Amino acid sequence: MRTIAIPVTEGMLHFELGIALEVLGSPPQDVRREDWYDVTLCGPRPVVVGPFRLQPDAGLDRLATARTVVVPGWADVDVPPPPELVEALRAAHTNGARLLSLCTGAFVLAAAGLLDGRRATTHWVHTDVLARRYPDVRVDPDVLYVEDGDVLTSAGKAAALDLCLHLIRLDHGSAVANAAARRLVVAPHREGGQAQFIRAAVPPRDDHPLQTVLPWAMQRLDQPLTVEDLARRASVTTRTLSRHFVAATGTSPSKWLHAQRIRRAQELLETSSDSVEAIAAATGMGTATTLRRHFKRTIGVPPDVYRRTFNRVGEAAGDPVPTHG
Average pLDDT, the chain: 87
Shared domain check, 57 and 177: yes
Residue 98 in contact with residue 69, Cβ under 8 Å?
yes
- In 223-255, which positions are buried (b, 16+ CB within 10 angstroms) versus exposed (e)? eebebebbbebbebeeeebbebbbbbbbbebeb
In a domain, 128, yes or no: yes
pLDDT in tens, 133-163: 999 999 998 888 999 999 999 998 889 999 9
CATH of the domain at 109: 3.40.50.880
How many angstroms separate the first and last alpha carbons of the chain? Answer: 29
In a domain, 191, yes or no: no
Question: Could you give the CA distance from residue 232 to residue 229 in angstroms, rounded to a whole number?
Answer: 5
Check residue 197 and give left, alpha or beta (phi > 0: left; psi -120 to 50: alpha). Answer: beta
Shared domain check, 238 and 164: no
Shared domain check, 167 and 244: no
pLDDT in tens, 8-46: 999 999 999 999 999 999 999 889 999 999 999 999 999
Question: Could you give the CA distance from residue 172 to residue 114 in angstroms, rounded to a whole number?
Answer: 26
Of 192, 304, 165, 203, whose CA–CA distance to 259 is shortest?
192
pLDDT at 163: 94
Shared domain check, 42 and 67: yes
Shared domain check, 203 and 179: no
Instruction: From 152, 184, 216, give the residue that closes a domain.
Output: 184
Shared domain check, 325 and 217: yes
Q: 96 pLDDT exceeds 50?
A: yes
Mean pLDDT of 75-100: 97
Shared domain check, 168 and 144: yes
H/E element, 151: strand 151-154
Shared domain check, 108 and 231: no
Query: In this predicted model, which residue has the larger pLDDT, 16 or 323?
Result: 16
pLDDT at 321: 42
Q: Is 215 exposed, middle or buried (0-12, 13-18, 19+ CB in 10 A)?
A: exposed
Residue 30 in contact with residue 179, Cβ under 8 Å?
yes
In a domain, 193, yes or no: no
Residue-range definition of the domain harbouring residue 32? 3-184
Mean pLDDT of 71-93: 97
Shared domain check, 250 and 102: no
Q: What is the pTM of this model?
A: 0.71
Shared domain check, 100 and 65: yes
pLDDT at 192: 57
Mean pLDDT of 175-203: 65
Q: 302 pLDDT exceeds 80?
A: yes
Number of domains in the chain: 2
